[in-house]
Structure 1
């Protein structure tokens, strides 16, 4: 089981829209040196929905090559097309990633039974260890704890990224799914408390720009050191909030560029650069966190 601070890694891009491989190499080194516990590549923050399958596989191959076994790699592999998700997960499994991050089908609005069959089909076909990803704010679909319990420990399903921000789900999921099922927060604002209440880690946007602080905070929270963990978390409070002032990953890419972690804040359409008024807000959050 992976624990601690797992970064929802941005995908650095050139102004032409191609992946900036040099910047990717530098980001990987930054996270390894900062104590990040895992890289989540090609998730929401990595602009997965604008990557072609070929680009996804190349991105993962290069990331695995650059990481060279020094840090676990989790690959975004979700789709609202079950047949497509099965094929992508199969290929990702063959590449040798630690696990796949499989988001609930967006737009389709499936029932709980449909969700169960979707994830079961992916796991049976691909043999890829899967971390479920529940983010109703983006998908219009909520994976209920009872459905997670049906899936937990079956079909290679080993954990869930729970991005509702609802802390009451921790105890529900733990009771239904057992101690060996990994629970990851997908909400930076509540992640510290999530871990203090029994979660195993966070898949974090904030960690893109505050890797050391998120790693330290997570370690303290997992050790039950509430006061020290909350002290670090409080220093990141504005960053947790303001990195979502516009749609993720618009603000965090701008913040990473402002810190010099990547060359520029380019994204692929339909996402556009952070607006000028929002830039001032994100910069103020970086200053408050003493990152610039």
Structure 2
């Protein structure tokens, strides 16, 4: 498996009463497929994995696998704070049909670099699914250093890294690790264009929930070496991407999805978007519609 291009970390739609909204979920998947999204992540942090019950996780993943029907890879979030539990979760994801596992550095426990090496090696050695490493220190309290990634990148079952740190220096240190069996993906929407122009293989994106056509186009331009075209498109999305960071993810993106009729909110302790930011949703949604409509029309033409 070689993961590249525009990969969406899907939000999980809920009904007004707080249950899974599987109808909205399938519509969200259809939007991604129609725009050429190249893989999707089910039950990552954007998908509120920590708020899902086991039966809900299974229903989401099973329905995504069935609906996508092999057209693009389906990644399952399986990272836990404990190695044995991560292995168990990854086995469950395989049984449900996932193509790969997105495994975040163990949250809260803050392992050493040697602990991270042992953790990921054990999960990969178990062999249930190909593994995508995921480094997001702002959420986990743990930073997986490039030297550790280098040691893990040679494992035949570890196929990619999602790096959510935004510093150019971090990406510069990781890009030399790319090879035929290991890709480096941005996990930071605001700097994804810069990272891909520098050589990153793609992006695992939050914004592509609402900008699927734009992110596919951005990836194609940046990975194709069209700096001017990529930077121009990226500039059109700056205000939208800034808005997606005004409160913790996935609060803003779910407000925009709800405005578009996909889902109705979040689960505690996450609260709906605050009033001062909610007032901006219609104008941001209008900007999204303008960009997406233009790109869909150009594809159709």
Measured against the shorter chain, the TM-score band is over 0.9
Question: Any gaps of 5 or more consecutive residues in structure 1?
Answer: none
SS in 2 for 1:88: helix
Q: Which residue of 1 aligns with 2:284?
A: 285
Range with bigger deviation, 165-174 or 138-147: 165-174
Counterpart residue number, 2:109:
108
- Do structure 1's residue 44 and structure 2's residue 48 form an aligned pair? no
Residue 30 of structure 2 aligns to a residue whose secondary structure is helix
Residue 15 of structure 1 and its aligned partner are, at CA, apart by 2.3
1:9/1:205 contact within 8 Å kept: yes
- The answer on 1:9 being equivalent to 2:38 is no
Specify the alignment match of 1:226 in structure 2: 227
Structural mapping, 1:1-292, within 5 Å: 1-154=2-155, 156-176=157-177, 178=179, 180-260=181-261, 262-264=262-264, 266-289=265-288, 290=290
What are the superposed Cα offsets for residues 130-183 of structure 1, whole Å, 9 maximum, x if unpaired?
A: 101100011110000100111113161111100001222233223245454111
CA contact (8 A) 2:184 2:201 kept: yes
* TM, length-normalised to structure 1: 0.95
- Quote the Cα distance in structure 2 between the aligned partners of 1:286 and 1:21: 23
Alpha-carbon displacement from aligned partner over 1:183-210 (angstroms, at most 9, x marks no partner)? 1111100001110100000011110111
The unaligned stretches of length 5 or more in structure 2 are 293-301
Q: In the alignment, is the contact (CA less than 8 A) between 1:189 and 1:237 conserved in 2? A: yes
CA displacement at 1:2 relative to structure 2: 2.0
Compute the TM-score of the two structures, normalised by the length of structure 2: 0.92
- Does the Cα contact within 8 Å between 1:93 and 1:126 map onto a contact in 2? no
Superposition RMSD in Å: 1.6
The number of equivalent residue pairs is 290
Deviations 1:16-60, CA, capped at 9 Å, x for gaps? 222101001111111111111111110011000111233212211
Deviation at 1:10, TM superposition (A): 0.6
Q: Which moved more, 1:278-287 or 1:97-106?
A: 278-287
Matches of 2:213 and 2:199, distance apart in 1: 22
What is the rounded CA distance, in whole Å, between the counterparts of 2:263 and 2:101 in structure 1?
28
SS at match of 1:286: helix
Range that drifts further, 267-276 or 164-173? 164-173
| C-alpha separation in 1, matches of 2:121 and 2:274 | 41
Partners of 2:17 and 2:117 in 1: CA distance = 40
**How much does 1:93 deviate?**
1.9
- Report if aligned partners of 1:188, 1:240 keep a CA contact under 8 Å in 2: yes
What is the DSSP-based 3-state SS (H/G/I as helix, E as strand, rest coil) of the residue aligned with 1:160?
A: strand
CA–CA separation in structure 1 for the residues paired with 2:281 and 2:122: 41
Cα distance in 2 between the residues matched to 1:73 and 1:9: 11
